[in-house]
Amino acid sequence: MVTEMTIELNIATIVYIASVIGVLGAAVKILAEAKKALTKPLDDINNKILHHDECLDRDKKHLEKIDEAIAELGTATNLLVGASRTTLAHMKDGNHTGDIDKQLKQIDAWLVDRKDYKI
């Protein structure tokens, strides 16, 4: 004996199915908002870290330029002190013309190509 199965849809069944779908949709929406709320602080922290990294890289480049300028000023100061000393020694006794020539060559080398100059 074969019996037919029929699905009887009445208004209560339709409302029940619609309610289940609505509850599942609301649950998915709540979970998505919860995930967003939980990850937002981490995203904010990551963005701040990236911004600070960029600032530190910029500052590092700036400090390297300052270090190069200080080294260049140190070289210029050494040249000036050496030239002043040689000039004073020459003024004192009239000698040291070889030292004056050496100082002039060092200053010229520094002015022409600062990278090749070494004290």
Give yes or no for a contact between 89 and 96, defined as CB atoms under 8 angstroms apart. yes
> For residue 55, what pLDDT is reported?
95
- H-assigned helices in the chain: 11-93, 97-112
Q: Has residue 110 got a pLDDT over 50?
A: yes
Inter-axis angle of helices 97-112 and 11-93, to 10 degrees? 160
> For residue 106, what pLDDT is reported?
82
Q: What is the pLDDT of residues 74-96, one digit of tens each?
A: 888 888 888 888 888 888 787 77
> How far apart are the C-alpha atoms of 103 and 37, rounded to whole Å?
71
Q: Has residue 9 got a pLDDT over 80?
A: no
Q: Residue 54 is encoded by which pair of tokens?
A: 């960029």
Q: What is the pLDDT of residues 45-54, one digit of tens each?
A: 999 999 999 9
Chain mean pLDDT for the chain: 82
Q: Has residue 7 got a pLDDT over 70?
A: no
Give 58-86 as a DSSP string.
HHHHHHHHHHHHHHHHHHHHHHHHHHHHH
pLDDT category of residue 1 using cuts at 50, 70 and 90? very low
pTM (2 d.p.): 0.49
pLDDT category of residue 118 using cuts at 50, 70 and 90? low
Burial of 57 (0-12, 13-18, 19+ CB in 10 A): exposed
Q: By C-alpha distance, which of 50, 97, 57, 106 is closest to 78?
A: 106
The most distant pair of C-alpha atoms in the chain lies apart, rounded to whole Å, by 138
